[in-house]
């Protein structure tokens, strides 16, 4: 018995060491990937991938079908920022960790806690002769893409970050996402400057099919972030942009690309389960494409993780052992789009049912009417304030107040729960496939992802 106990201790110690060292595997002896595809699903905690499994399920079968996220799952990652910001990260600090391997304070873009610049894997890949690119559904100067491309003490400095994409040297060959507001300004037209540097510029998804693969490209498709997947002209725009970007980046030296499903996080902040599932669908279709791409390009590494979880999503709430995703499958417009329409028209049971694409009750209609009345009252109170008092507060938004009521209606119908409108500190899933993907297995930290990528790029 003592021998068996001792053997158990040895095995446990060996396993512990293996787990401890997994994130810093010596890659000098192994063949490194030619291409590295880093996918960040902003805000996607484990409840999101589980919810998507049930949302995506075929109700005609007894079996709950496996999803791409189930198939590629290999571990989890911790997300905490530098100790100065506590345990709950924001997107900037987490993206800085994922991009550089360095923990920083919330709000930091490519800086450490002392506000000194840290090199990112995208910057290093460019130095190594690889092509680089970003594809996001937010504006291209939002926290996550900025943390790979820029260095700024605050994520809120959107114009300065956009300016740095030119002023600090062009670091990518492909930029796809939103951002007209920041790149086509009265004080500076950054698009003209990109064009002067040899870039082609597009502003519609249709133009993605007609790009010159021999020239770099910047594509901006909306004022700030892109429309919700439920409302966009292309509900699978992340997949569409990803395919076009990879075609642009393929070359003999290989490439590094950051892909971000940005609006999962925005849906989480809004506690919008319908929007979240549509964004997860766009991500799932993108990952299915990348899975097939990996089969055809075995020299490619693909990593998917989240920077943090948003909203404290709960599948099943109120002590009721049930979750009803069928309601979500029926929806074909976002709560935001529906609320805008309701703000301009009379709310009736028929009209609300038509917009939501499921039959609502009279009590549900009353809930939305009450929200609209409250919104009108808040706007009237705001209008009565003098100018000095108005600048101290945010003007109430009728559509936003109605939208909150609609998401609550959907939560009650589906039995969805939320604990916050912000982020949580829980670990997030890690999914990977392709060359050297096992390096990212098990329990790791977000900084380990960047450290491993640096190793695979040849940084010592």
Residue 83 DSSP label: G
**Alpha helix stretches (DSSP H) within 357-394:** 362-383, 387-390
Taking the C-alpha atoms of residue 164 and residue 100, their distance in angstroms, rounded to an integer, is: 18
Q: What distance lies between CA 457 and its chain's CA centroid?
A: 24
Residue 321, C-beta contacts closer than 8 angstroms, at least 6 positions apart: none
Task: Average the pLDDT over 407-414 and give the result.
Answer: 97
Find, among 241, 280, 208, the residue nearest to 133 by Cα.
241
Q: Torsion over CA of 439, 441, 442 and 446, rounded to 10 degrees?
A: 70
Strand ranges in 356-451 using DSSP code E only, listed in sequence order: 416-417, 423-424, 428-434, 442-445
Taking the C-alpha atoms of residue 108 and residue 111, their distance in angstroms, rounded to an integer, is: 6
The 10s digit of each residue's pLDDT in 299-348 is: 999 999 999 999 999 999 999 999 999 999 999 999 999 999 999 999 99
The residue written with tokens 């292309």 in the block is 234
Residue 121 has pLDDT above 80, yes or no: yes
Find, among 156, 147, 140, 259, the residue nearest to 199 by Cα.
140
Q: What distance lies between CA 134 and its chain's CA centroid?
A: 12
Q: Strand 217-220 vs strand 300-305: parallel, antiparallel, or unpaired?
A: unpaired
The 10s digit of each residue's pLDDT in 271-294 is: 999 999 999 999 999 999 999 999
Taking the C-alpha atoms of residue 169 and residue 404, their distance in angstroms, rounded to an integer, is: 42
pLDDT bucket at 389, cuts 50 / 70 / 90: confident
Q: CA geometry: angle at 198 spanning 193 and 204, to 5°?
A: 80
pLDDT at 29: 53
Residue 355 has pLDDT above 80, yes or no: yes
Q: Looking at 9-18, 187-196, 223-232, 357-366, which range is the least confident one?
A: 9-18
pLDDT at 388: 83
pLDDT at 8: 41
Indicate which residue of 77, 91, 138, 239 is catalytic. 91
Taking the C-alpha atoms of residue 55 and residue 142, their distance in angstroms, rounded to an integer, is: 29
Average pLDDT of the chain is 93
Q: How many residues does the chain have?
A: 460
Predicted TM-score (pTM) of the model is 0.92
Strand ranges in 174-297 using DSSP code E only, listed in sequence order: 174-178, 200-202, 217-220, 255-261
pLDDT at 26: 52
The 10s digit of each residue's pLDDT in 417-433 is: 999 999 999 999 999 99
pLDDT at 5: 35
The residue written with tokens 């401890």 in the block is 20
pLDDT at 417: 98
pLDDT bucket at 30, cuts 50 / 70 / 90: low
Q: Is 345 a catalytic residue?
A: no
pLDDT bucket at 7, cuts 50 / 70 / 90: very low
Is 148 in contact with 95 (CB distance < 8 Å)?
yes
Q: Could you give the percent of the chain with pLDDT greater than 70?
A: 93
The 10s digit of each residue's pLDDT in 132-160 is: 999 999 999 999 999 999 999 999 999 99
Is 312 in contact with 297 (CB distance < 8 Å)?
no
Strand ranges in 148-206 using DSSP code E only, listed in sequence order: 174-178, 200-202
The Cβ of residue 52 has, within 10 Å, a number of other Cβ atoms equal to 24
Domains and CATH numbers, the chain: 30-313+422-457 (3.40.720.10), 324-414 (1.10.60.40)
């Amino acid at each position: 018995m003592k021998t068996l106990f001792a053997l158990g201790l040895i095995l446990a110690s060996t396993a512990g060491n293996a787990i401890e060292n997994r994130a810093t595997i010596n890659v000098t002896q192994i063949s490194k990937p030619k291409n590295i595809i880093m996918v960040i699903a902003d805000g996607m905690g484990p409840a999101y991938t589980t919810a998507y499994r049930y949302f995506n399920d075929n109700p005609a079968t007894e079996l709950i079908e496996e999803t791409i996220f189930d198939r590629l799952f290999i571990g989890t990652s911790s997300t905490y920022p530098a100790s100065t910001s506590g345990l709950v990260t924001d997107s900037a600090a987490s993206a800085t960790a994922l991009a550089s391997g360095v923990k920083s304070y919330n709000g930091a873009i490519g800086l450490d806690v002392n506000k000194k610049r840290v090199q990112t894997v995208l910057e290093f890949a460019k130095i190594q002769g690889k092509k680089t690119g970003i594809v996001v559904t937010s504006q291209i100067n939002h926290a996550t893409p900025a943390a790979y491309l820029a260095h700024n003490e605050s994520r809120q400095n959107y114009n300065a970050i956009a300016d740095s994409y030119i002023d600090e040297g062009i670091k990518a060959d492909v930029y796809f996402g939103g951002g007209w507001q920041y790149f086509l300004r009265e004080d500076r037209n950054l698009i003209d400057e990109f064009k002067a540097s040899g870039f082609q510029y597009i502003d519609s998804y249709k133009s993605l099919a007609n790009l010159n693969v021999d020239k770099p490209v910047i594509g901006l498709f909306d004022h700030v972030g892109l429309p919700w997947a439920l409302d966009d002209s292309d509900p699978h725009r992340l997949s569409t942009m990803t395919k076009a970007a990879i075609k642009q980046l393929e070359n003999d030296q290989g490439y590094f690309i950051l892909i971000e499903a940005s609006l999962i996080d925005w849906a989480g902040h809004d506690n919008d389960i319908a929007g979240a599932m549509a964004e997860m669908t766009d991500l799932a279709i993108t990952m299915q494409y990348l899975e097939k791409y990996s089969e055809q390009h075995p020299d490619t590494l693909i990593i998917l993780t989240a920077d943090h979880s948003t909203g404290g999503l709960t599948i099943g709430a109120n002590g009721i052992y049930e979750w009803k995703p069928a309601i979500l499958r029926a929806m074909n417009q976002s709560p935001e789009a529906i609320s805008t329409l309701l703000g301009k028209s009379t709310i009736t049971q028929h009209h609300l049912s038509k917009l939501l694409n499921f039959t609502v009750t009279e009590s549900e209609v009353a809930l939305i009417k009450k929200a609209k009345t409250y919104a009108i009252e808040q706007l009237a109170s705001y209008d009565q304030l003098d100018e000095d008092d108005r600048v101290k507060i945010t003007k109430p938004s009728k559509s936003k107040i109605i939208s909150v009521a609609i998401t609550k209606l959907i939560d009650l119908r589906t039995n969805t729960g939320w604990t916050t409108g912000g982020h949580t500190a829980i670990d997030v899933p890690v999914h990977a496939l392709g060359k050297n993907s096992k390096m990212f297995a098990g329990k790791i930290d977000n900084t380990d992802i960047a450290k491993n990528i640096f190793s695979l790029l040849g940084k010592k």
